[in-house]
Amino acid sequence: MVAAARARLESRATVHHRTFDAVAWHAAFDGIWCCASLLHVPQAAFPDVAARLLAALRPGGAWYLSFKHGEGEHGRWGRLFVDHTEVTLRAALSPLPVQLLDLWVSANRRPRRADEAWLNAVVR
């Protein structure tokens, strides 16, 4: 994905490849898009990762995040997954200095995955 973005954007933008624990920007972005990526962060590490991402936002910036709709932390296909419901995501966000702007469930549009849903949120 990073290589494709770099190729498409060429010199018009800088594309960074970082792990969440390496995010160290401060007030650098108006928005952060975490589509189906934070679901691989262990629940215990989420507060630190969230704090890093929030610090990278400029005042008034927005943060989009999505998780598979469900509950719990589990392994599948050799990878960690953390699923959330509206209740568990609100609880995970509650200690953070954010305002929940929107929260919704959407259908999975991938072939053979119609039985899965995604929980989406936008915070500021």
Do 13 and 6 meet the contact criterion of CB atoms below 8 Å apart? no
pTM above 0.75, yes or no: yes
pLDDT of residue 121: 98
Within-domain flag for 85:
yes
Asked if the structure places residue 12 within a domain, the reply is: no
The dihedral through the CA atoms of 15, 20, 24, 25 has a sign that is positive
Structural domain contains residue 95: yes
- Quote the domain boundaries for residue 64: 29-123
pLDDT at 110 over 80: no
Q: Residue 104 sits in a domain of what CATH number? A: 3.40.50.150
Count of domains observed in the chain: 1
Residues in Cβ contact with 49 at an 8 Å cutoff, skipping those fewer than 6 apart: 20, 21, 23, 38, 41
pLDDT in tens, 27-49: 999 999 999 999 999 999 999 99
